[in-house]
Chain A
Amino acid sequence: MTLDKTDARPSRRSSTAAKSPLASYLLRRLGSSVLLLLGVTIVTFALTNLVPGDPITAALGEGASNNPATVAAYVERYGLDQPLPVQYLTYLSNLLQGDLGRSLTTGRAVTADLAVAVPATIEIAIGAILVSLLVSVTLGTLAAYRRGLVTDQVVRVVSLVGLSVPTFWLALVAFNLFFLQLGIAPGSGRLSPQLSPPPTVTGFYTLDFLLNGDSVGFVDAMAHLALPVFVLSLFTVGLLTRFIRTSVLEVLDQDYVRAARAKGLSGTRVVLDYVLRGASLPILTVVGIAFGSLLSGTVLVEAVFAWPGLGTYAYNSATSLDLPGVMGVGLVVGVIYLLVNFVVDLLYGFLDPRVRLG
């Protein structure tokens, strides 16, 4: 660290692309991301090799595994006759060519499976984030304004209940009540059986139906989203509300909020333009965290609603010791985790110009 004043003074002209703080920040970020993903592959690889099975028969099926030539080709392709470290390196080099191997459970390429499962899960997760943001921003702001009063206590209990409900149980109860007993919600899966999936553009059924101009399909897909999204939202509401209350409380103490009130702005204007804007950074952070916990919660909820997403895929792969499947899930989840964190950090700079990446 030098104390040279000419160096310390910010100067746009002297910074070239290579030396710009943003570029070096992105490089460092990329480096640590690659390391983390490498770690993820090592961990999943080690985990799934704890129990030895016979992946060859499982992958090729009974018929093909009787054919020595097919077996030899398969063994060579995935290096299954090699010691574990070599197998791992083979997996890595296949990975770099976009080949995640063949799932032992579905018999299809893991990349093809994930291309279907990931959007299915992200669709629920985004729905749950939107619903719970709406609810918890309202509840959190209300609680902060009514600090210490009955409303505040009620909101607190509600959010603690949200954090305490077993999601798989709530999913079952909701499924039983709204589908089987009352019949006002559709059954399990992403679509009613009589409808066929929309042509794949984004993988999100709702969006793909819209792009295709199919309103019947869109409504059906939305209806199927309702229960899983509701169930997942409850936990997220619990998680977000406490955070939002604290952030709003901190902003309410600020001079600029007092000034806005003093100059006679309406309560709604103050909340929307000053308070929530000021609290947006911490809210954004916790939304990033909530996304991670949603990916976790979705496993149990997908199991109940037979939702063909990442959670179901992870469960099927894990229970049948399907190494390529589990590795694929681990990687995808790692990538999602990194992407969400990255987007949150970028949005920081956008929401608050004082934040500098670098």
Chain B
Amino acid sequence: MIRRRRIPIPRAWLTPLAVIGVVIALAWVLIAVTAPLWIPYAPNAQVLPRLQPPGIDTLMGTDSVGRDVFSRLMTGASVTIPLALTLVAVSLTIGTTLGAVAGYFGGWVDEVLMRITDLVMAFPTVILAMVIAASLGPSLFNAVLAAIVVSWPAYARVSRSLVLSLRQQNYVIAGRLLGFSPVRSLLTDILPNIAGPVVVLATLDVGTAILLLSGLSFLGLGAQPPTAEWGSMISSAIQNFDAWWIGVFPGLAILTVVLAFNFIGDSLRDILDPVSGGAREAAAAIPVVPGQPTAREAVV
């Protein structure tokens, strides 16, 4: 039998930080799914007095056109969270595929793919995403496209460096000697073993994706009014600084969601780190911040 090394993850769920992260993240997902059923007002209904401070009737006050901030905030979860998850899934698929192919085949394929990766990473993410979003025209969909363009290279780098260390392992060589095609070798021998670190990166990347999407919307390059999106809600607060509640609550919403995913991702990374040599290798391939070089690339 071919021995597969699996990277253990289970105990991650026992650390307090991870538990807090999972609870907050699940709560937000639940809100995103069920919000339309129980929010007190329609998110775009301008039916309340303007600029009301938070009170019993309107928990988080009303904005400058008389919309309920609380209802908009809860609706915002169903705008941001599914988009961020989709964005991460697509970047992960593109990046991991390209990185694995580059690492497995090496040679000019590797050279070309990695130079493209370098090129994308030479731009600061927000500036590049901003230029792409502006060229495509401001819309939430285009902001997601722009975010995908800037976020796949992190996965390509991580999966490439993992594949490079795996392809010389005996069980992979054994598979090749048995006549596995490159596709089969990649899918059955290699992918299961790079999944752990890639999943950790993806968890941390959900937070980055939410920050990037809401940042683009804040600049007016993502969600357009009257969409109840957190970043654009914050930017609408600029006109009414005295009504602090318009901007403060959406920011707290972003902070808690991102923090939850970072708690989870950071705890998962810890699990990969101290165990065996192989797991340490894997952990070193995960950058502290998605999109940045990994610890191994940076230090060695």
A contacts, CB < 8 Å to B? 35-36, 39-40, 43-44, 47-48, 50-51, 153, 156-157, 160-161, 163-170, 172-173, 176, 180, 239, 242-243, 246, 281-282, 285-286, 289, 292-293, 295-297, 299-300, 303, 311, 314-315, 318-319, 321, 326, 329-330, 333-334, 337-338
Contact = CB atoms under 8 A, between A and B. Distances in A.
Contact of A39 (B119, B124, B132): B119
A172 B125 contact: no
Given A167-B215, A293-B292, A319-B220, 7 more contacts: A36-B122, A156-B17, A243-B288, A300-B219, A314-B127, A319-B221, A338-B122
B254 A169 contact: yes
Contacts of A246: 295
B131 A164 contact: no
Contacts, number: 149
24 contacts: A35-B115, A36-B119, A36-B122, A43-B119, A47-B132, A160-B263, A163-B262, A165-B255, A166-B214, A166-B218, A166-B234, A168-B234, A169-B250, A170-B251, A172-B247, A176-B241, A246-B295, A289-B289, A295-B127, A300-B219, A303-B218, A326-B131, A333-B127, A337-B122
B131 A180 contact: no
A48 B134 CA distance: 9
Contact of A315 (B130, B237, B298): B130
A350 to B, nearest CB: 17
Interface residues of B, number: 52
B9 interface: no
A21 B282 CA distance: 33
Given A39-B119, A282-B299, A239 B124 contact: no
Q: Which secondary structure dominates where chain A touches chain B?
A: helix
A169 B234 contact: yes
Given A163-B207, A164-B207, A165-B255, A292 B134 contact: no
B111 to A, nearest CB: 12
Contacts of B123: 40, 43, 330, 333-334
Given A47-B135, A172-B237, A40 B17 contact: no
Contacts of B220: 319
Contacts of B219: 299-300, 303, 315
B277 to A, nearest CB: 15
A315 B218 CA distance: 12
Contacts of B131: 44, 47-48, 314, 318, 326, 330
